[in-house]
A and B are shown apart, each in its own frame.
Chain A
């Protein structure tokens, strides 16, 4: 059974007298543990797609189902159970430590502080950011910010992680590490739906789609056997 289903979803925004179509008849399913990348430029509708999948916005038309049930509008405290949303540019509320920030979703749910912090520390280990635990948000570099945002989204134990363009502000040489982290999360049986603005973002995914003008357009399913070995990349460059 699919984990997430979007069926014929559409979304329009009003801007003054203009109406802008953010999503137009979008259908998409995500299977448990699957890593799906959506390749699109900013304003292509990619973030709206993620926000609707998270229940953070309501579609004007169509259905969104998570684990077979209609997605309820999310509450003030955030996301439906089972969904994590990674928005890079982690909200830096007050002067809490990173550890407390990562623990916040659990504290908001009423988990005891000691338990919440212990689980937050486990997630910081999982994303390779233990060293950030005692830091303040403003002390993080862009890559650490992504790792910490992922840890915060994972702390509630989601089955689906929605990640909005994780490599956007990350140094060129560190982007692959961020993408490998995302891959490892999907390998740990948490499905991931991610947007990206660059070719590197679709490397190693189970399925890649493109979006432009609010329409999902092309889809690629790389079979592991077809993933080109590096040796053949060179001859591939000549072939094209």
Chain B
């Protein structure tokens, strides 16, 4: 799957089960200016993701209480198909994120340490959060030290080419930091979910 829109839609569905129009709005809020697909492309992404069994329709009885968006009169009239991620969808998304980050050894090291901590059990969720916090601090420090791009004011073609390269290099650094930042938000949710699962397992009586 090559389409950035498909991956973005999958990421949003993993965060929260959702339907086409709501996903369109969430995508616009989150990635407006970077990804601006027409709504038809959201529906195409949902079809492609469902065909690949990365998402599935959410049974009606499992839907969350009515969200704000669904209160709009237009949305009330017809039931929307809500989608949630399948286990293979969540796995595919994790692998895709890892792929995006592979070129950053610092991030690989963080993942290695989180994996080591995860194996040690639920009481280590705090340690994992500390690792993620420290990583976030490093990212925000780096982002704050990147200058704004140079003005487009070069007098010669050679200088203009130099500026162009500087702007592109800077944009690449920023793009990576944006990806890391999205990953940090995602990692925090995963750690919360990990802690809940582990707590449930421990709380269950031995004969259950």
Contacts and interface: CB of A to CB of B under 8 A. Distances in A.
Interface in B166-185: 166, 169-170, 172-175, 177-178, 181-182, 184-185
A203 B167 CA distance: 14
A171 B141 CA distance: 25
A240 B105 contact: yes
Given A16-B65, A199-B177, A230-B170, A176 B144 contact: no
A182 B105 CA distance: 35
How would you classify the secondary structure of chain A's contact residues: helix, strand, loop or mixed? mixed
Interface stretch (A90-98, A99-107, A152-160, A221-229): A221-229
Interface in A144-195: 167-172, 175-176, 179-180, 183
Contact of B173 (A213, A218, A237): A237
Nearest to B66: A16
A202 B140 contact: yes
A230 B147 contact: yes
A119 B144 CA distance: 34
A41 interface: yes
Interface stretch (A57-65, A124-132, A204-212): A204-212
A179 B146 CA distance: 13
B143 A176 contact: no
Nearest to A17: B65
Size band of the interface chain B makes with A: 35 or more
B144 A202 contact: yes
A236 B176 CA distance: 13
B150 interface: yes
A203 B143 contact: yes
A237 B177 CA distance: 11
Interface in B129-187: 133, 136-137, 140-150, 166, 169-170, 172-175, 177-178, 181-182, 184-185
B126 interface: no
Given A41-B185, A220-B140, A204 B174 contact: no
B112 to A, nearest CB: 16
Q: Which of A169, A198, A229 has the most CB of B within 10 A?
A: A198
Contacts of A179: 148
Q: Which of B105, B136, B142, B146 has the most CB of A within 10 A?
A: B146
A233 B149 CA distance: 12
B34 interface: yes
Q: Which of A202, A221, A237 has the most CB of B within 10 A?
A: A202
Interface residues of A, number: 49
A179 B195 CA distance: 39
Contacts of A210: 136, 140, 181
B140 A39 contact: yes
A110 B104 CA distance: 58
B37 interface: no
A203 B166 CA distance: 15
A168 B36 CA distance: 12
Nearest to B149: A176
A67 interface: no
Top 4 closest A-B pairs, CB basis?
A199-B177, A218-B137, A220-B141, A199-B143
29 contacts: A16-B66, A39-B140, A41-B30, A41-B185, A42-B29, A168-B29, A168-B32, A168-B33, A170-B33, A183-B148, A198-B174, A199-B146, A199-B174, A199-B181, A202-B140, A203-B143, A208-B140, A210-B136, A210-B181, A212-B184, A212-B188, A213-B188, A217-B136, A217-B137, A221-B144, A230-B147, A230-B166, A233-B173, A240-B106
Interface of A: 15-18, 37, 39, 41-42, 44, 167-172, 175-176, 179-180, 183, 197-200, 202-205, 208-210, 212-213, 217-222, 226-230, 233-234, 236-237, 240
Interface of B: 29-30, 32-34, 65-66, 68, 104-106, 133, 136-137, 140-150, 166, 169-170, 172-175, 177-178, 181-182, 184-185, 188
